[in-house]
Amino acid sequence: MNDRLYRFVRWCFQELIWGGDLLGADYLPERGPAVFVSNHLGALGPIAVGAAIPLPLHAWIQADMLDPLLAADYLRRDFVEPQLRVPPPFSCFVADAISKIHVPLLRAVGGIPVCHTPEGSLETLRLSVDLLAEGNVILIFPEDPALPMDPRYRMTPFQKGFARLGELYFERVGKSLSFYPLAVHAESFTVRVGGPVRYNPFVKPAVERARIKNLLEQAIHEMYLQASRHKIVQIPLPN
């Protein structure tokens, strides 16, 4: 990871795009190893978390977004057309321009490629455990895009494969890994941190993965609803 570039990107996110608040900072660890798990909210989630969390984060990122040959098409389908609402054929030019910047940028700040094949998933886990064993922090957005979104939380259900990091890290170093829930809430401009969920090596792995996934998902749901109840109301200024 290029630390100087990471700090610059984080400053840009906070000062130029997000500008929100971090709540529950007392739960944050002083350093890694740790795993942060967050809701996505489209492009906003990664930006808000990157701006708010004062620790270097190695984020899980779709492998296509880190591939110079595939990134432009992925950005067009996932971001430029549905979120920026740029129509074709202009969307192709915009996506290509963005990819020229963001591919080397994401690589430089330590993005971890996520490929949804058996071999690719194992490689993602291996790279992540290597980083955790070195004391780094991993950031994951585990929502399943194939499932319907719950309008109450603006989230889809989590996949549980990420929770394997707990058992793999324990096998590597013999210590329990902590997973921290994060809830990004757009209307209140807040990122909330919840208490950690620690891996329990004395539970069957499949059961433990489901437990970690369910507890984190529930915590994020609760924090999101709490933020919704306390969201900032914008009052128009008099002319």
pLDDT (average), residues 90-112? 90
Cβ(65)–Cβ(103) under 8 Å? yes
Q: What is the pLDDT of residue 231?
A: 60
The CATH code belonging to domain 3-229 is: 3.40.1130
Locate tokens 């990107």: which residue?
Answer: 9
Q: What is the mean pLDDT of residues 1-15?
A: 88
Task: Pick the most confident of 64-78, 83-97, 183-197.
Answer: 183-197
Task: Report the pLDDT value the prediction gives residue 184, as an integer from 0 to 100.
Answer: 97
Specify the amino acid at residue 174.
Answer: G
Between the CA of residue 96 and those of 108, 109, 192, what are the distances in Å? Answer: 19, 20, 34
CA 1 centroid distance within chain: 17
User: Does 47 have pLDDT greater than 80?
Assistant: yes
Residue extents of the structural domains in the chain = 3-229
Dihedral sign for Cα 119, 124, 127, 133, please.
negative
pTM of the predicted model as reported, rounded to 2 decimal places: 0.90
- β-pair partners for 59: 139
